[in-house]
Amino acid sequence: MKKRRPSRLEAAQFVSETVPLFVVLCLLSFVDVSAALARSWSYHYVPRTPKPSPEAAATPASVPAEQLSTARLLKQAIVFDLAISIQERVGSDKAHTDHSEYVVSRLALFDPMGSPEALSVLASLSGYYVGARGEKLYDCLVLRKGKALKTLLEQYLDNGNPECLRELGQSFAKPSNALGGYALCPSDQRQRDHLTRLIAEIDTAKSCPDSEFASIVNTQHVSSGAQ
């Protein structure tokens, strides 16, 4: 009987734990699978936190560990999907909407996370441009986390965040139609401007109430250009 080949999702999850993301992207160009199939796993992938046993549930240390694992998977899924959209040179409104919906739905899952480890992953996403709607939701999440996230953002403001270029390469620093003419890897200046604004808004106790959060998540389509 012919053995079942591992699904693309299973392979992607394994690779994401063992090699940098840019290697995953390189593999895509050599695997004889259409880009549409590569995207299909991404759209249907929902990271699931394993349900702990009653004994494990009673251990406080298990919560940060589970949140960190889930946060890392969410981040990789978001970046992977954005990179695919750029490689495919997405142009149609339908394709823009599909990618925007996916990114926003995954970003929203950071909202209930509060462990320092998970917040560190969220802060690191400031080094990527996640689309107009995605960035709006990201800013909302930052305000909802408030001072718990401020120190982490200040570190990136002071030291920079070259992760995107290091992991994906210089080609993703170029403007892309898939992101409304913006690059997935923002320039140092754009990152500084974004972080400076977010930190200032935290200092003034600006908020993002549940109603605004829900409005962003539930919006069906907005322009892909940054605000």
The model's pLDDT over 123-182, given as tens digits with 9 standing for 90+, comes to 999 999 999 999 999 999 999 999 999 999 999 999 999 999 999 999 999 999 889 899
DSSP state of 33: S
**Residue tagged 């090699």 (tokens):** 19
Euclidean distance between CA atoms 76 and 84, whole angstroms = 12
Quick one: pLDDT at residue 94? 66
| pLDDT at residue 98 in the model | 80
Q: What residue segments make up the domains of the chain, in order of their start?
A: 8-44+63-218
Q: How confident is the model at residue 92, as a pLDDT?
A: 56
CA neighbor of 102 nearest in space, from 120, 85, 122: 85
Burial 20-58 (b: 16+ CB within 10 A, else e): ebbebbeebeeeeeeeeebbebbeebebeeeeeeeeeee
pLDDT for the residue numbered 139 = 98
pLDDT at 223: 40
Alpha-carbon distance of 174 to 47, in angstroms, equals 30
Residues of the chain with pLDDT under 70: 1-61, 89-96, 220-227
The burial class, CB within 10 Å (0-12 / 13-18 / 19+), for 137 is buried
Q: Which residues contact 61 (CB under 8 A, 6 or more apart)?
A: none
Q: Which of 24, 158, 30 is closest to 80 using CA atoms?
A: 24
Query: Does the predicted model carry a pTM greater than 0.85?
Result: no
DSSP-assigned letter for residue 171: G
Confidence (pLDDT) at 37: 36
- The answer to whether 206 touches 140, Cβ cutoff 8 Å, is no
Q: In terms of Cα–Cα distance, which of 226, 221, 227, 223 is closest to 97?
A: 221
